[in-house]
């Protein structure tokens, strides 16, 4: 495993920014996007990620599809699109860091499956919010596992994050959905592991498109195995648009996010705008799914968003 105890959050932010910029080499069609939106690309990405979650939610409600087959459709389209793009440019998918890719792909796949599982059973806003706790878990891992001395900002972010999570867990526990809620929260934890592995792969010189490809490939295989064990649902003309939409929305959201980090002047602004996915999901859940949000859930959502934004802030230098 590539993870090392030398993790430092400011360094990780720089590496992640560089990695996201390099993704344009392959993933943004044949050159630069003609439409220049700067950081506003993240608003587009947040909206598309929300659309993906909505389609997953609708597919589970209307067609009773399981999280595994939905994760398969989420993964197979990006894997195929990147492979076709790379091979058409006569680049190679081979990597000397296969083990690292497998670790990153496994962590990312588990996170994806748990997030989709949560969407199947929990209210849309609750599920999406719990999946967006990866920044909080990153701070926690840097403290417990990687032995990084916490700053005052990190302590405040962790405290706010724990309070926000507790507020979000309360109604789910009362509805006897504690198991589903904890599994959904695990999506944020495994996403943090995956992000740490991305940092190591990026440091080792792996381009972003190759990291995304191997994650999508591992997720495709893993979710296909799980879906086969659980049972596939027959494709219909009614369900097919939802499944293709899940993959397309996920891929386009990834591209828009990449463009946001490439064009945006402030990486902090881009990171903060990413939490609009929670807002979009909450609005849709209330307006179209009849999922009410009480006062304390709203406080919990806001608290988690603030904690995530604090984690995105660069450390002050003495």
pLDDT single digits (tens) 197-256: 887 888 888 888 888 899 999 999 999 999 999 999 999 999 999 999 999 998 898 888
What's the pTM value of the predicted model, to 2 decimals? 0.81
Question: CB of 308 within 8 A of CB of 136?
Answer: yes
DSSP code per residue over 140-180: HHHHHTS-PPPPHHHHHHHHHHHHHHHHHHHHHHHTT-HHH
Give the torsion sign (CA, 230, 234, 238, 240).
Answer: positive
- In 10 A of CB 17, how many CB atoms? 16
Of 74, 185, 48, the C-alpha closest to 129 is: 185
Q: What is the largest CA-CA distance in the chain?
A: 61
Q: What pLDDT sits at residue 316? A: 61
State residue 150's pLDDT score.
67
**Rounded to whole angstroms, how far apart are CA atoms 78 and 252?**
9
CA atoms of 156 and 315, how far apart (whole Å): 13
pLDDT value of residue 65: 94
CB-based burial label for 10 (10 Å; 0-12, 13-18, 19+): exposed
User: What pLDDT shows up at residue 29?
Assistant: 39
Q: At what angle do helices 178-203 and 98-121 cross, to 10 degrees?
A: 150
Q: How do residues 282-315 score in pLDDT, each as one tens digit?
A: 899 988 888 888 888 889 889 988 888 887 777 6
Tell me what pLDDT residue 110 has. Answer: 96
E strand or H helix that includes residue 295? helix 295-312
- Element spanning 230, H or E: helix 208-230
DSSP 206: -
Distance set, CA 272 to CA 263, 302, 307 (Å): 15, 12, 10
CA-to-CA distance for 208 and 15, rounded, in angstroms? 11
Instruction: With a cut of 70, list the residues of the chain below it in pLDDT.
Output: 1-36, 146, 148, 150, 262, 264-268, 315-318
């Amino acid at each position: 495993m590539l993870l090392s105890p030398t993790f430092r959050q400011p360094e990780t932010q720089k590496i992640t920014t560089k990695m996201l910029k390099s993704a344009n080499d392959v993933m943004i069609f044949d050159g630069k996007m003609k439409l220049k939106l700067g950081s506003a690309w993240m608003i587009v990405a947040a909206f598309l990620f929300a659309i993906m979650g909505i389609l997953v939610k609708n597919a589970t409600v209307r067609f009773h599809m399981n999280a595994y087959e939905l994760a398969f459709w989420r993964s197979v389209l990006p894997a195929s699109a990147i492979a076709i793009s790379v091979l058409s440019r006569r680049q190679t998918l081979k990597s000397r860091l296969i083990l690292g890719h497998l670790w990153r792909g496994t962590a990312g796949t588990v996170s994806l499956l748990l997030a989709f599982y949560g969407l199947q059973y929990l209210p849309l806003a609750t599920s999406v919010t719990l999946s967006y706790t990866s920044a909080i878990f990153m701070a926690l891992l840097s403290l417990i596992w990687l032995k990084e001395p916490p700053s005052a900002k990190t302590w405040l972010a962790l405290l706010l994050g724990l309070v926000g999570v507790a507020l979000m867990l309360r109604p789910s526990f009362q509805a006897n959905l504690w198991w589903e809620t904890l599994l959904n929260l695990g999506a944020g934890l495994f996403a943090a592991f995956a992000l740490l592995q991305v940092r190591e792969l990026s440091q080792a010189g792996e381009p972003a498109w190759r990291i995304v490809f191997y994650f999508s490939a591992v997720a495709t295989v893993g979710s296909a195995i799980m879906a086969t064990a659980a049972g596939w649902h027959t494709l219909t003309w009614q369900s097919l648009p939802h499944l293709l939409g899940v993959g397309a929305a996920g891929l386009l959201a990834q591209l828009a996010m990449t463009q946001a980090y490439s064009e945006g002047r402030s990486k902090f602004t881009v990171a903060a705008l990413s939490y609009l996915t929670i807002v979009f999901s909450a609005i849709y859940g209330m307006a179209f799914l009849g999922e009410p949000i009480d006062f304390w859930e709203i406080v919990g959502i806001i608290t988690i968003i603030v904690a995530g934004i604090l984690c995105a802030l660069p450390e002050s230098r003495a």
